Amino acid sequence: MRTVRNLGILAHVDAGKTTITERILYATGTTHKRGEVHDGTTVTDFDPQERDRGITIFSAAVSCVWNDHRLTLIDTPGHVDFAVEVERALRVLDGAVAVFDGVAGVEPQSESVWRQADRYGVPRIAFVNKLDRAGADFDATVESIRTKLDAVPLVVQLPIGREDGFAGVVDLVAMRAVRWPEEDGPVVGPVPDGLLADAAARRRQLVETVAERHPAALAEFPDVSDATLVAALRDLTRAGAGVVVLGGSAYRNRGIEPLLDAIVAYLPSPSGEAAAPLAALVFKVAVTATGRLTHVRIYSGTLEKGDTVLDAATGRTERVGRILRVQADRHTEVPRAAAGDIVALVGPKAAATGATLCAPDAPRLLEPAASVDPVVSVAVEARRGADTQRLATALSRLVAEDPALRVRTDRETGQTLLSGMGELHLEVAVEKIRRDSGLSLGVGRPRVAHRETVVTGVSGFTYRHVKQDGGAGQFAVVTFDVEPGADGFSFESAVVGGAVPREYVRAVEAGCRDALAEGPVGGSPVIGVRVRLVDGATHAKDSSELAFRTAAERGLRAALRACVVSVLEPVVEMTVTVPADAVGGVLGDLAARRGRVVDSVARGSTIVVTAVVPLAELFGYATKLRSRSQGRGTFTSRPNGYAPAA
């Protein structure tokens, strides 16, 4: 596995992730024509909606070979609505390339995916893209990586030329110049005389930064050899103590070969033993017209065609009919896969995203990617009554592919509600149903998912649950203190003297969690509450775990009705970039949407406004912004928690 690299391409939307992936496939000889996002000819953005919208929606894996190393790349979405897709990819990757726009620097979603990678401990290298664009500033982007991401940039290149004159880079490790005069391949030569002093100073700075953090480099300081420097950069990258930074222009095919060299040199190979029992994590399920594909990362053992595997969570066994090496929407069948491989399986019918597939005689459970709750819902219905069952089937298939989507029936209206992570997420889901199933759908206006929280609690609230209707009865008494807490739910037992036996305390906590599913004001889930069990009573015969769980659920519901409870709504942090002459209208519009401006920065002839706005006020905002800015304004957003609803 030393010659294997599993990595993701991460970035803010429109920073150039997909273009970089295309250029990597071209540079490695995997493709013989460079795909373009604007032409809809890319390998990884193969879904019709991705080509129509010009953005990555679904993570796609591709494989290639560089210097006898097999690279598996996953091109991930950059739009905030598809952050869960990034989360699932990061869970199974060993490294990543974080791409930054050389003009914009670290953007909001860049920061979000960086934090996601931090949570999974994924080592990264950085690539500053679009250095040929007007306003591109390599050093400013590096500084934004340092300040906004709290990272230690290990800058190993110096750009040759600026903006439209960008022609290549100086390799500060080998002290050589690499140019791309014809876009078809690099030409290596000596460092230009005019850059020698700057390059020498920057190499010294790189060596000093590395020596401060690596003992082998410190031992050779100040005359650190190239081999020691490379080894130190590799160690710091894999330990998360530094981030190697390179630059280029993917669109003009400049900087790709050094990036590939850096991937091989600095990012880690997968760990795991092929001789150990099988353990594989399902990170993506795709339901296609020809069948179901279960995408897995194998962490240990070997999987062969025809093997029977165990779904560790459900106890169900599945047979692997075929093993496929994935190339976006194309596949190559292979007879076996081993630890470190990322492949797709044909055969498993029920394994869901997050499931562990393992050897039946050696059960093992791997931790899945973190799950998140949807924040936006729309009502969907088939326009023809005869299509109702087809719609139900299509929705079931959709949720199997994308666990960030949820489907439920509104108990009051009887409507079918589709919930997701944002307006675009739901638009894509509905359009996928229309295209794949040929259904005519009616779609309601999006609605946000509210929460409720305790503002003022109650102390010593007692609830008695007594039920006797023949046979064994139920008896439980619980006394709570309920008060405001952190974002989620916390529970503790302060019972003394055995008033509530220890074996029933866990049932009380479970009952409390049941009660928080619907709040007393509008039936929304309750967050930000702390419950302390302070007393209770039991019956020698009629007390049980079920009795205490029921008492806790009903008792906490009653206690919440006695509290002061407020309704919360989801809010987002927006970054709006507009020409200076349009900023007044944009600020007025944000104020009308109950937005709170937290920052405003001039960047050339544009103004970048950061504001916190209720999500419910942003439906259709893209159209309004285009109108107010004559089509020149752009915006991005990311979740920013909940705030009291107006």
The reply to whether 165 and 244 lie within a common domain is yes
**Are 458 and 404 in the same domain?**
no
Same domain, 461 and 440: no
Look at strands 596-603 and 606-614 and give their pairing. Answer: antiparallel
- DSSP secondary structure letters along 207-227: HHHHHTT-HHHHHHTTS--HH
Task: Judge if 305 and 258 occupy the same domain.
Answer: no
DSSP annotation of 268 reads: P
Q: Are residues 45 and 53 in contact, defined by beta-carbon separation less than 8 angstroms? A: no
Q: Domain boundary at 533, 562, 591, which?
A: 562
CATH number, domain with residue 573: 3.30.70.240
Between CA 202 and CA 485 the distance in angstroms is: 50
pLDDT at 51: 60
Residue 367 lies in a domain: no
Is 600 within the bounds of a domain?
yes
Query: Is residue 195 domain-resident?
Result: yes
The total number of structural domains that make up the chain: 5
**Integer angstrom CA distances of residue 135 from 142, 603, 604:** 15, 9, 8
- CATH number where 521 lies: 3.30.230.10
Q: Is residue 247 located within the same domain as residue 300? A: no
pLDDT per position as a tens digit, 85-111: 888 888 999 999 999 999 989 987 788
Report which of 609, 625, 599, 602 is spatially closest to residue 576, judged by C-alpha positions: 609
**Considering 542, 562, 582, which residue would you say is the last residue of a domain?**
562
Least confident of 97-101, 110-114, 139-143, 475-479: 110-114
Same-domain status, 577 and 558 = no
Say whether both 21 and 83 belong to one domain. Answer: yes
Q: Which residues of 159-196 are buried (b: 16+ CB within 10 A; e: fewer)?
A: bbeebeebbbbbbbbeeebbbbeeeeebeeeebbeebe
Helix (H) or strand (E) holding 201: helix 196-211
- Within a domain: 179: yes
Does residue 632 belong to any structural domain of this protein? Answer: yes
What pLDDT was estimated at residue 554?
96
pLDDT for 5-23, tens place per residue? 999 999 887 888 888 988 9
Residue 63 neighbours by CB under 8 Å, 6+ apart: 30, 70, 71, 72, 73, 325, 326, 327
Same domain, 470 and 418: no
Q: How confident is the model at residue 462 (pLDDT cuts 50, 70, 90)?
A: very high
The pLDDT value given to residue 516: 95
Q: Specify which residues 602 forms β-bridges with.
A: 607
Output the pLDDT for position 326.
81
DSSP letter for 320, please.
-
Question: What's the whole-number average pLDDT of the chain?
Answer: 89
Contact 262, 244 (CB under 8 A): yes
Q: Which domain holds residue 318?
A: 279-358
| Global confidence as pTM | 0.79
Which CATH number do you get for residue 430?
3.30.70.870
Distance in angstroms (rounded) separating the CA atoms of residues 51 and 437:
19
Q: What is the CATH number of the domain that holds 217?
A: 3.40.50.300
For residues 534 and 626, membership in a common domain is answered with no
pLDDT for 61 beyond 60: yes
Q: Does residue 368 form part of some domain? A: no
Residue 637 confidence (pLDDT) = 82
Peptide bond into 570 cis (omega under 30): no
198 has pLDDT over 70: yes
Q: Are residues 399 and 437 in the same domain?
A: yes
Distance separating the N- and C-terminal Cα atoms of the chain: 56
Same domain, 344 and 390: no
| Domain-embedded: residue 365 | no
133 and 103 together in one domain = yes
State the average pLDDT over residues 531-556.
94
Q: Is residue 363 part of a domain?
A: no
Domain boundary among 445, 476, 496: 445
Of 569, 571, 570, 575, which Cα lies nearest the Cα of 637? Answer: 575
Per-residue pLDDT band for 40 (boundaries 50, 70, 90) equals low
